Structure formats: C-alpha cells, structure tokens
Structure 1
Amino acid sequence: MEPSLLSELDGLVSEARNPRTGRLDRMSAIELVQAMNDEDRTVAVAVAKVLPEVAVAVERIVTAFGEGGRLVYAGAGTSGRLGVLDASECPPTFGVDASMVVGLIAGGDRALRHAVEGAEDDEAAAVADLQRITLSGKDVLVGLAASGRTPYAASALRYARSIGATAIAVTCNPGSPITHEADISIAPEVGPEVLAGSTRLKSGTAQKLILNMLTTASMVQMSKAFGNLMVDLRASNEKLRARAVRIVAQATGCSIAEAGEALVDAGHDTKLAIFVQLSGLDTPQAKTRLADAGGILRVALDAGIDAGPGPRPLQARETRK
C-alpha cells in the first residue's frame, strides 16, 4: 500500500471515524438502528446546501436532451450501481428510450453483483467504456465517487471534458480530486459514516437523492409530467397498467371505468388518453394535435382552448387537478 494513498484517505471526511458511534459494537439492535437513523437525518440537510449546483446541472442536462444529447453516469462500486439503477428507472417512468440515460460501472455488468478486483483503478477502461457508447460533445457525463478520488470516475470526467461534453462530479468529499476534473461539482458533506469508511451508507444515500433530482427534474422540464403525474409512463406490467388508469382518472376527473376505456381506445398511451378526455377530440384527431404540439400535453391543451375543440370545458377540467 502506497503511503501517499494512506495519507490521502486520512484526509477524506467520508473515511473519518464518527465520534458519535465509537461504541457501535456494544450497542443493542435498537441502539444501532437509532444511531443509523440519527445520522441519516443529516443527509438531506447536507444535500440542501448544494441545491444551487444541482439546479445548474439540471439546466445543463435539459439543454443536452433538447439537442439530442444523453446523460451518462460513470462510477465504481456503490456509486456505479446507483448510477445504473437511476438510468434503468428512466424508461418505465418517463417513457424514454434506454439510450437517453446510460449507466456505466467499472468492471461492467458483472460488477453490479460482484466485486471486480481492480476495476475502480482502471483509468483506461473508463475511456474505453465511453468510446464504446460513442460519448460526444452533446452529452453530459456525471462522474460518481463518494471518496472523490476513484480513478475510473476521474478518468471518465477528464475524457468527457476533452471531447467537449459537460462533466459533472458527484462526491461526498468537497475539494477531492474529481471536483477538479469537472465543469460542475456537487459535493455534499455528509460527514463520517456510522461504520467508518462504509460509504454505501450516508454517502450512498446522498448520491441517490442527487441522482433522483437530476433525472426527475430534467424529465419534468422536458414535459414528461402533467402537474405531478407521470403521463409518459410505460405500462409494462399489471401494477403500471393500474397506475396508468389512476393517472388518467386523476388528470381528467373521469371515473376509473372511463379511464380504462380511454386507455384502451388510445392504445394504452397514457398521455393520449388524457388528451382525448380533456379535449373532446376523437383519438385520431387528438393524436395529430398532440404530435403537432411536440408531444407536450399543456401546449396541446392550450391550442385546443384557442380552437374550441369540443364539448369538454378544458379550463374547468384543469382546475380539478
């Protein structure tokens, strides 16, 4: 072990011993979980302090999406797994193509379930992984590393900047190496872990909160929501089909039975079913009007109000949400 690495780890907040949990191995079960819960309460507070940086990152991501770019996560270990998880949730939640948000983890898919020795130290692999997916200057690369020093994440950020892509670092150690490799640095200081150095705990929670914000806020700004409803949801299983019915009913004020019928008529397109119900147009007309509005439900509804599309009072129906 290199002395320099030991010294570097000694300087990381996430590697320090927590003075509040020094007797962890002597705690009862209830004391243990209470201590963990007490520490977890501090995470949201730490994330709140970096919201301006998160908002700037969201704006960059929205711009990239509008220009046909992608959001790409790159990390190792827990950080990498969180990126892959967030990316994998976007298609069913927002109805987007799987290529729009991509998660890369050092060591490849095997590393999702198994530790891959040395993967996080492989800088060349990070570049190869990004070249494999043809990262371009239109994309946004988010390098994830709780410690802020993971070579795989740092290399990914450097490569992204070298080709003109936006580089965003997410770490729990302010001022750590990857923050110097990024255009935007998001670095909540969550403090020492309950179990010293186990960054899957508070650091992992902070990263998960931030990734939730990056994708959800970006997708909402890309008109993937109507109010707070997921109107581009892909109903790929029974639970999601039931959710789609509820969304149509909640968005329009119609009955559950009417919502189910509207979904069938719309080919299980949630947004189209809502527009049919709110506009009074038949399904083919509504589909055309929605396409003319770029798939943005509020724009299509506003156009419908101007055109006087049919018997349903759109403004009145809007006030019911």
Structure 2
Amino acid sequence: MAISFEGQVAVVTGAGAGLGRAYALDLARRGAKVVVNDLGGDPHGQGADAAPARKVCDEIIAAGGTAVPNFDSVATYEGGYNIVKTALDNFGRLDIVICNAGILRDVAFHNMSEEDWDKVFAVHVKGTFSVLRHAWPVFRQQAYGRVVLTTSSSGIYGQFGQANYGAAKTAMLGLMNVLKQEGAKYNVMVNTIAPVAGTRLTQTVMPPEMVERLKPEYVVPAVVYMVSKECQDSGLIIEAGAGNFNRAAIVKGPGIQPGLGELKDAEWVQANWEKICSLEGAEPMWRTGQTLKAYLAEKAAQKQG
C-alpha cells in the first residue's frame, strides 16, 4: 500500500541541500506540505544564504507540491520557535519533524578549540532541542507526531578527529531514548537515522568518487517510512546508505548478578572481567531496568486487556 502524507505538514531542518533536500522532495511528492528550513551557512557553520531553501521550495512547487522556506538558525531557541511557527502560520498544523541540520568541524582532540566544540553542539544538540521543544506541545495536543533525529557512525562507533561531532551525535541517542518514552502515550514515535551519503558535509571527509556514488536518495526510504503513520515503532536506530539498511542498538549483556550479599573488590572484578564484558545473550533495552522484549510484551497485554 502506497505511503501518503496527504493532509500532513512536515518540517525538515537543513533542507537546502543533500539529505534534507532529498527528504523534503519525497515528502512533498507524497502529499506533505513542507517547511524547508535552511540557514544557508557553509559546512563549518559560517555565513547565511536564503537561496538554498528558496531553491528547494521552487523545485517542490514546480513539481506540483506545497512548500515554504524558513531561514532561521536551529542553534537558537528563538530560531526553533520560528521554524515551528512557520508551519503553524502557513499550514495550521505540524505532524513531522526531521532534525537534519548539521555542521562539521573536524580536528584531532588535542587541537580542538572551544569554538569547534561549542559550534557543533549548538547546531546538533541545541538545534535539535530548540525545534523539538516547540513542536512537542503541538504533538501532545493532537496526540500524533513523528520525529526522526540524525546520528552518525561517529556517534555510535567513533571516528578519529570527530570528538565534537561524535559526542553530539551520541547525544541524539540519549534524547531519543527519553522522548520515545515521553511520547508513547501520545502516539509520538521518535526514531533516529544514521545516514551514509555524499553531501556538502561529507565531501570534506570523503573521496569525490564516493561522494558521487553515495547519493542521499539511498537514505530517503528509511526516513520517509519512519515519519509515516504506518510506522508504529519508536526508539530505533536505523543505518542507511549505499542501498543498505540495518538496525543498530545499544544492548545490555547478562553480566554477573551476585546482588548485595557481599561487597566485592577490584580483584573480584578482575577475576570475573570476561563474564562481566560478555555480550552473549545481550538484549536491547526500552528504558532503565526494562528490556525491549519485556516492554513489548507489556504493551501487547495492555492491548488485549
């Protein structure tokens, strides 16, 4: 069955090029009214230009879709407010937020400046907060919302020279894991994409031939499905790119559970280190103290009851 977004409104941040543009075009093609947000700065977070957001809107409109541009920076609380306000003022509602805006400031940690750290966190972490904080009350009131955050292999597994970017991208996982719980009873699903694509950002760290081959369109199907009403999953990390799709997860190993009977020392930990670190039988968690399997069983029992 075809996935449609007729009657729905989407905000896509950083949508003036690359992945954001690809998301916006496909959503509009499927009937969504789209707020195309882009400050128009360079990959390092400098400058501003209204042209990229306007150009994507023109593409959408020329293809028969509906879109309006927004030029606010996600890195300010006021900017996040204005982005959401643009959706409500123009279309009267908001159903989807894709937090895609980002910058890179790659440098080895011993050479990283405070500005390199703060600028990356401002866009990725503060920027995601600023937009979602203003969208969240709308989602709660209408008992519906779909959110996709953006992480990276740098945030999940690490990448040399990206301490600032990797730390900011790992923050998306923590945010998702809280918001998936807070949104559950309001039908707000929050998932995270870890894309691999050739874009303005990655062309600074990828060979040109790889940038050309790894088209953003290969990531689009996963994101578009995750923001659809058909997607009833929340709290998932999906890696997508180069035609491949898979789930990544933070899991908890069984470890050793001797309890409070006897206080252990470092030598006991040393002796049992292999068992403590074993991931045999590891399970993904839904929240602290509850496995995903247990949560899904509880959810299924509530439906039957």
TM-score tier by shorter-chain length is 0.3 to 0.5
Flag the structure with larger Rg: 1
TM-score, normalising length from structure 1? 0.34
Q: Which has the higher helix share?
A: 1
Q: Which has the higher strand share?
A: 2
